[in-house]
């Protein structure tokens, strides 16, 4: 499938332009609906337990509920999956392999870690997911080669999830790219977390 699954979550979000292609599938995850509305983006699907929905969004939620299960899913508050994980599972079920997740990074470390685990789940199910903010991009990579494009200028941090790099020493933190040179990370086995921070050079 050529389209991407774009997910807007309810976490801390620094406004950035979201470019939606015609074949993309856009999911508003709970209170993330507000972030899409502010950019004039109408989601294809609304999902969540709606414990973080803004009061002004309730009318929109009612309209999606009336559209039925093809566009709306209300989750129980007490559940095993987070709202973000439920949205990721929906995207995988629909055949998407590229996931762009906005509003998934922020002040709550537990939510951020849960979203990183969601990236690992997406990878295990044949996809590639990204947590995106204005200057930070986070993904989980597995076996093989990960290419950092020449156009990227900033800091690359690599953390072990279950790869050869030991998880008790931050050797992979704050590695800097060189302008105009493509970077590569190669994983022989296991998984690793990659954090790309734009325009962060010599600010350790």
pLDDT for the residue numbered 203: 44
Read off the pLDDT of residues 8-47 as tens digits, 9 standing for 90 and up. 998 777 778 899 999 999 999 988 998 898 899 999 999 9
When pLDDT is cut at 50, 70 and 90, the band that residue 106 belongs to is confident
| 55 belongs to a structural domain | yes
Does residue 154 share a domain with residue 128? no
Mean pLDDT of 50-74: 85
| Residue 36 · residue 56 · CB < 8 Å | no
Nearest one of 14, 12, 54, 6 to 30, comparing CA atoms: 54
In a domain? residue 204: no
Question: Could you tell me if 113 and 88 lie in one domain?
Answer: yes
Burial level of 105, CB count in 10 A (0-12/13-18/19+)? buried
Q: What is the mean pLDDT of the chain?
A: 86
In the structure encoding, which two tokens stand for residue 132, read together? 């995106």
Final residue belonging to a domain, choices 113, 134, 155: 134
Q: Is residue 68 part of a domain?
A: yes
CB environment 77-98: b (16+ within 10 A), e (fewer)? eeeeebbbbbbbbbbbeeebbb
- Domain of residue 173 covers 141-198
Q: DSSP state, 120?
A: H
At residue 78, the pLDDT reads: 77
- Say what the pLDDT of residue 122 is: 97
pTM of the model: 0.85
Same domain, 114 and 153: no
SS3 content of the chain, % helix, strand, coil (to 5): 25, 30, 50
The total domain count for the chain is 2
Residues 92 and 151 in one domain: no
Q: Supply the pLDDT for residue 204.
A: 42
More confident residue, 161 or 70: 70
Residue 51 has pLDDT above 80, yes or no: no
Enumerate residues 6+ apart whose C-beta is below 8 A from 25: 3, 4, 5, 6, 44, 45, 91, 94, 96
């Amino acid at each position: 499938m050529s389209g991407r699954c774009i997910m807007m979550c309810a976490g801390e979000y620094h406004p950035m332009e979201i470019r939606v292609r015609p074949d993309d599938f856009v999911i508003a995850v709970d209170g993330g609906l507000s972030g899409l509305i502010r950019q004039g983006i109408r989601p294809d699907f609304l999902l969540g337990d709606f414990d973080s929905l803004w009061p002004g969004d309730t009318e929109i939620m009612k309209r999606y509920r009336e559209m039925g299960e093809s566009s709306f899913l209300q989750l129980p508050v007490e559940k095993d999956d987070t709202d973000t994980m439920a949205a990721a599972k929906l995207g995988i079920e629909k055949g998407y392999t590229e996931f762009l997740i906005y509003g998934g990074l922020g002040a709550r470390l537990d939510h951020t870690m849960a979203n990183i685990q969601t990236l690992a789940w997406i990878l295990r199910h044949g996809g590639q997911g990204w947590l995106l903010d204005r200057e930070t991009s986070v993904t989980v990579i597995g076996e093989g080669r990960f290419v950092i494009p020449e156009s990227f200028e900033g800091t690359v941090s690599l953390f072990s999830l279950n790869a050869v790099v030991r998880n008790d020493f931050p050797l992979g933190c704050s590695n800097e790219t060189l302008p105009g040179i493509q970077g590569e990370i190669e994983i022989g086995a296991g998984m690793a977390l990659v954090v790309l921070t734009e325009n962060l050079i010599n600010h350790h």
